[in-house]
Amino acid sequence: MTGPGRARLEKMQADGFDLSNCPVRTVLGHVSSKWTSLILLELETDPMRFNALARRIPDISKRMLTQSLRDLERDGLVIRQVFDTKPPSVVYSLSDLGRSFLTPLIHMVEWAMAQHDEISKFRASFDERH
């Protein structure tokens, strides 16, 4: 592999960078998952309650939504706000850090949308050969 990405990786390694604690693994691996991306996009405009999010992403299980929201809260991308009502209500919203991720996320979404047909053709061709 050559190019700017490889050169950056080699410089980081020369500076003593530890690949076992690589931001690509510890941050991008998490925020680039399909559920994380969909949740962040849903929270872009308004805070939402758990059930509203579940309705907006109907193919996510409640368990996966719960885990994803916990992970996002742990990473500081989502704020969980509990209201003292009976029963207590919980609302999820994007933090400033979560909002800062929307710009690159939207670029990735736009790229995926633009390349979807071509990738589908490559997949079909690959599947025919294998």
Q: How far apart are CA 112 and CA 32, in angstroms?
A: 12
Do 120 and 129 form a contact (C-beta atoms < 8 A)? no
**pLDDT band for position 13 (cuts 50, 70, 90):** confident
Average pLDDT over residues 111-122: 96
Same domain, 52 and 3: no
The percentage of residues in the chain with a pLDDT greater than 70, rounded to a whole number, is 98
Q: How far apart are CA 109 and CA 41, in angstroms?
A: 10
Do 101 and 40 form a contact (C-beta atoms < 8 A)? yes
Same domain, 23 and 37: no
Q: CATH no. for residue 41?
A: 1.10.10.10
Domain that holds residue 10: 1-31
Residue type, 101: F
Same domain, 45 and 27: no
Same domain, 37 and 27: no
pLDDT at 1 over 70: no
Same domain, 57 and 2: no
**pLDDT band for position 10 (cuts 50, 70, 90):** confident
Query: Based on the structure, what is the number of domains in the chain?
Result: 2
Note the pLDDT tens digit of each residue in 51-93: 999 999 999 999 999 999 999 999 999 999 999 988 889 999 9
Same domain, 70 and 124: yes
Same domain, 1 and 51: no
